[in-house]
Amino acid sequence: MTCTVTIFHNVVWSRHKGAVFSALYNLSASGTIRYAMVQIADTETDRIGFSDVDYSFHRYPMRKLFDGCYEDVPAWKMIVRLTSEVLNSKSELVVLPGYHRPEYWAMLAACIVTRKRRAVFCDSTALDRPRRLMTSIPKRIFFSLCDGYFGFGERSREYLMSLGAKRERIFVPCQAAALPRSFAAGRALGERLNARRRSKPVFLYVGRLSEEKAIDTLLDAFEQARGALPDAQLRIVGTGVLHDALVARVAALTIADAVRFIGSLQDEPLSQEYFGASCLVLPSHSEPWGLVVNEALSHGCPAVVSDRCGCVPELIVEGETGLSFPAGDVDALADALTTATRAFVDVERTARACMARIARFDPRSAALNIERGCVTMLREGGDSGRTASTAGGARQ
């Protein structure tokens, strides 16, 4: 007997979710679970200008509820539409896109009224979302009313458990990058070695130019590190509201000749940046995971990241695949930059370590973890779930 799971996601813009959902759809062809994918809108305000919405990464049947930007949809209209979608769904299990918006609470209520099993995606960590009494109580209530949770890694698991979720109901990791179309794993090592034949240190930042990314910390640390690395370069890939302020800050420091703002890049040009960099640097104050670290390691490029990044336990092996430092600590980041040039001097050894570490964080593995969670929740829901469990267990 076939079971149906409806998965709601906030925006089509997320290429990585498109890759994971495509893999999940492919899994459904050989099982008894059918997945109905619902995208709520095209993009979000903070994604506009960073990269275009690319539907080609979404290779599965889906419905989109609203055109344009999520935040442009009136709240009442969002609540009515999403509540109606849940009430009219014939699925045995509904996966909610989050817990921090009123419409998600309305969807949860609709699941309860119609006695549908429900799960929720959680991309937060305790470091990313400091505990506040006024927000932790509602989260505890929301999570207590869910049957399962999909997290990005160990830190999201710990965060969920701190808010009352049971370990056996949390399924991680469900995170994987959507690599450029031109990327070929079989050629990546050779391309990395070829691009890093020159010995000049090149530090790379990829992401939004926004407050939480702490790029000002990176600029100050880079200026300090240049005392030991006079020929080092810093390349900043991305766009955002802080662009002009950051350009002005660079001009005021002594590093204007060594810092280049590249703008937004995708696909082959972005791959070339990863291949050519000594290491990626992600200095964020707030970073639930850090998908650019997945991308960097896939290209054989190690990463220097702040300890706030959710991916640290899974992806950063100190001195092998990267280095971590206390967020906001300029001196510590400057030390990490200079240390990186020594720790990762053996380009081939480092590249192999990075590629080996990231190997299991691919879209199919993430999809399998989502399926495992769905199977578990459906099994608890009745006979049809037991059928799904048999099929899912056989595949794993």
Q: pLDDT per residue over 212-256, tens digit each?
A: 999 999 999 999 999 999 999 999 999 999 999 999 999 999 999
pLDDT surpasses 50 at 391: no
Q: pLDDT per residue over 118-155, tens digit each?
A: 999 998 998 876 656 567 899 999 999 999 999 999 99
Query: What sign for the dihedral angle of Cα 221, 226, 229, 234?
Result: positive
CA gap 229, 64 in Å, rounded? 50
- State the angle between helix axes of 347-358 and 291-298 in degrees (0 to 180), rounded to the nearest 10: 130
Tell me, yes or no, whether 19 and 142 share the same domain: yes
Tell me, yes or no, whether 340 and 380 share the same domain: no
pTM for this prediction: 0.93
Q: Which two tokens stand for residue 11?
A: 């925006």
Q: Which of 353, 365, 251 is nearest to 302 (CA)?
A: 353
- 104 CB burial (10 A radius; 0-12, 13-18, 19+): buried
Tell me, yes or no, whether 98 and 46 share the same domain: yes
Beta strands in the chain (DSSP E): 3-11, 33-41, 62-64, 93-96, 117-122, 148-151, 170-171, 202-206, 233-237, 259-263, 279-282, 303-306, 322-325
CA gap 187, 12 in Å, rounded? 29
Tell me, yes or no, whether 196 and 321 share the same domain: yes
Q: For residue 292, what pLDDT band results from cuts at 50, 70 and 90? A: very high
Instruction: Tell me the CATH number at 309.
Output: 3.40.50.2000
Tell me, yes or no, whether 149 and 205 share the same domain: no
Which DSSP string corresponds to 49-81?
TTS---GGG--S-EEE--SSBGGGS-HHHHHHH
pLDDT surpasses 60 at 305: yes
Number of independent structural domains in the chain? 2
Tell me, yes or no, whether 149 and 196 share the same domain: no
Tell me, yes or no, whether 307 and 389 share the same domain: no
CA gap 177, 23 in Å, rounded? 12
Tell me, yes or no, whether 29 and 129 share the same domain: yes
The pLDDT of residue 383 is 43
Provide the residue range defining the domain that includes 341: 185-358
- 150 CB burial (10 A radius; 0-12, 13-18, 19+): buried
Of 182 and 391, more confident: 182
Tell me, yes or no, whether 38 and 161 share the same domain: yes
Q: What is the mean pLDDT of residues 308-331?
A: 97
Tell me, yes or no, whether 155 and 235 share the same domain: no
The pLDDT of residue 386 is 38
Tell me, yes or no, whether 135 and 191 share the same domain: no
Tell me, yes or no, whether 136 and 274 share the same domain: no
Q: For residue 389, what pLDDT band results from cuts at 50, 70 and 90? A: very low
Q: Which two tokens stand for residue 115?
A: 């006695």
Q: pLDDT per residue over 53-64, tens digit each?
A: 999 999 999 999
